[in-house]
Amino acid sequence: MKDLVLLFALATAAGFTPMAVAAQHHSEVTPVADVTFTLKTAIHEGQLVFIGDAGPIKGQVAPELKVPEGAVVAITVVNGDGAMHDIAVPDFGAQSDQLVGEGSATTIVFRATKAGTFEYLCTIPGHKAAGMFGKLIVGDVVETVSTAVDIAKNPAEVGEPVGDRAPKHINYDLLTTEVEGKLSDGSTYRYWTFNNTVPGPMLRVRQGDSVTINLKNDESSINIHSVDFHAVTGPGGGAAVTQVAPGQTKSFTFKALQPGLYVYHCATPMIAHHISNGMYGMILVEPEGGLAEVDKEYYVMQGELYTAQKHGSRGLQEFSLEKLLDEKPEHLMFNGSMDALTKTFNMTAEVGDTVRMYFGVGGPNLVSSMHLIGEIFDRVYDQASLTSPPLTDVQTTLVAPGGATMVEFKADYPGKYILVDHSLSRLEKGLAGFLTVTGEADAEIFSTSEKIDANSGH
């Protein structure tokens, strides 16, 4: 133990290189440091988490760790669940050993050389996504008010059902904007949008309607924009006549000939660049008589961002043409941002509700394997064909870039259901959404029991 203390002291005197020390129990680790914290790994409400295990943070889930600038910081992590874990503070180069076995411990020690808000996390693949991260606040950090706008689209904004009405003429106004928007906590991106959200508004018409689209390019834009509707029969889906300079407006009218759920997007070269930056949305052309009524409807689109900075970087993220051409996105998201369907907006239902999701892929490049963990789609309108018989009892459905689907299901059991692309590595880059179902549990549908290990007491 004296050797450990001496090691820490020498490191501090030498200007300090971050290091980690592993022990069989945290009580054996007493590093020389200005500030010390003890965390414990745990499973809390279905998530993997760090919980404060001593001092003022005891019992807190993902506690904020506050330290003075320049302080030597020691963070000890005790394994409370027996699984493999570690801890790292990447901004200060601190990385622990892997921690295996309940009761084992590891400690990282580093000097907090700069003020700001930083992240501590478990770097085992999947563990951050499962909840193992928190904030390290160094110095007197003054929270600045971000000027970035929230571009995430509310999935509940699906427009008004057409019902059983006759065809008519409808006008829709679309505004193209270029705005710095929130990508995640601490990071932003220069999005290009329709009506300041990603995706743009969901438009809703009836088969046989005459639809006029008025596309204005905001005066503050520095790029030409346009719109291509996959629901349009005409030159470029409208793009040929809507190449709009900043401050100008152009219009066209089309007849909605065929029912379906269709993608629209900007089609100004480089088209993939405009789409990736957020310029996509969907239009629903309902068949004669409209769609059957359901209890809940949600509008979700999957997109990709190609940035020079790695996923998880803070600050303004810059577009990377090289990564776009290589089809290697750093960020994947539902409804525009990392947190759109996990923090910003809540998709909810009650047990017994029928739920309909309008799902599309803006892309521009990746096919989605749409899957709702813990649910089975009762009906899938494959490729958004509303006149074909739906597929039934579907676990996962493919949706192409520039394509869409409509799925329906009954919410049978309460819980938190996670919407994912079942190319599950993409979960680590942001593709997740929550549907929270409340109501009475039916033990015949699902029940759980916990077995006790007589030898271990667990």
Residue 14 has pLDDT above 50, yes or no: no
Where in the chain are the domains? 2-138, 169-286, 296-438
Give residue 145's pLDDT. 62
> Which pair of tokens denotes residue 285?
């052309």
Maximal CA-CA distance, the chain: 86
pLDDT (average), residues 272-283: 98
| Centroid of chain to Cα 402 | 20
pLDDT bin (cut points 50, 70, 90) of residue 30 is very low
pLDDT (average), residues 394-407: 98
pLDDT (average), residues 374-397: 98
Give residue 143's pLDDT. 60
Q: What pLDDT digit, counting tens, does each position of 183-215 carry?
A: 998 899 999 999 999 999 999 999 999 999 999
Q: Which CATH class is domain 2-138?
A: mainly beta
> Which pair of tokens denotes residue 411?
């919410």
Task: Say whether 96 sits in a helix, a strand or coil.
Answer: coil
The C-alpha atoms of residue 72 and residue 398 are separated, in whole angstroms, by: 51
Task: Give yes or no on whether 169-286 and 296-438 have one common fold.
Answer: yes
Q: What pLDDT digit, counting tens, does each position of 220-266 carry?
A: 999 999 999 999 999 999 999 999 999 999 999 999 999 999 999 99
Q: What pLDDT digit, counting tens, does each position of 100-156 carry?
A: 999 999 999 999 999 988 999 999 988 988 889 999 999 987 665 668 999 999 999
Nearest to 168 by CA among 212, 128, 201, 116: 212
The C-alpha atoms of residue 174 and residue 155 are separated, in whole angstroms, by: 18
Residue 77 has pLDDT above 80, yes or no: yes
pLDDT bin (cut points 50, 70, 90) of residue 1 is very low
pLDDT bin (cut points 50, 70, 90) of residue 3 is very low
Nearest to 113 by CA among 89, 135, 97: 89
pLDDT bin (cut points 50, 70, 90) of residue 24 is very low
pLDDT (average), residues 172-179: 98
Q: What pLDDT digit, counting tens, does each position of 100-110 carry?
A: 999 999 999 99
Task: Say whether 13 sits in a helix, a strand or coil.
Answer: helix
Task: Say whether 271 sits in a helix, a strand or coil.
Answer: helix
Nearest to 220 by CA among 303, 314, 318, 149: 149
The percentage of residues in the chain with a pLDDT greater than 90, rounded to a whole number, is: 84
> Which pair of tokens denotes residue 56?
């003022």
Q: What pLDDT digit, counting tens, does each position of 45-54 carry?
A: 888 999 999 9
- Please check whether residue 59 is in contact with residue 38, taking contact to mean a CB–CB distance below 8 angstroms: no
- Please check whether residue 377 is in contact with residue 435, taking contact to mean a CB–CB distance below 8 angstroms: no
Residue appearing with tokens 């290189």: 17
Helix (H) or strand (E) holding 54: none
> Which pair of tokens denotes residue 245?
């300079």
Better-predicted residue by pLDDT, 233 or 22: 233
- Rounded to the nearest integer, the mean pLDDT of the chain is 91
Dihedral sign from CA coordinates of 179, 217, 266, 357: positive
Q: Where are the beta strands (DSSP E) in 256-295?
A: 260-265, 280-286
- Please check whether residue 273 is in contact with residue 319, taking contact to mean a CB–CB distance below 8 angstroms: yes
pLDDT (average), residues 299-313: 95
pLDDT (average), residues 426-440: 95
pLDDT (average), residues 390-414: 98
For 169-286, CATH number?
Answer: 2.60.40.420
Residue 458 has pLDDT above 70, yes or no: no
pTM of the model: 0.83
Q: Which CATH class is domain 296-438?
A: mainly beta
| Centroid of chain to Cα 131 | 14
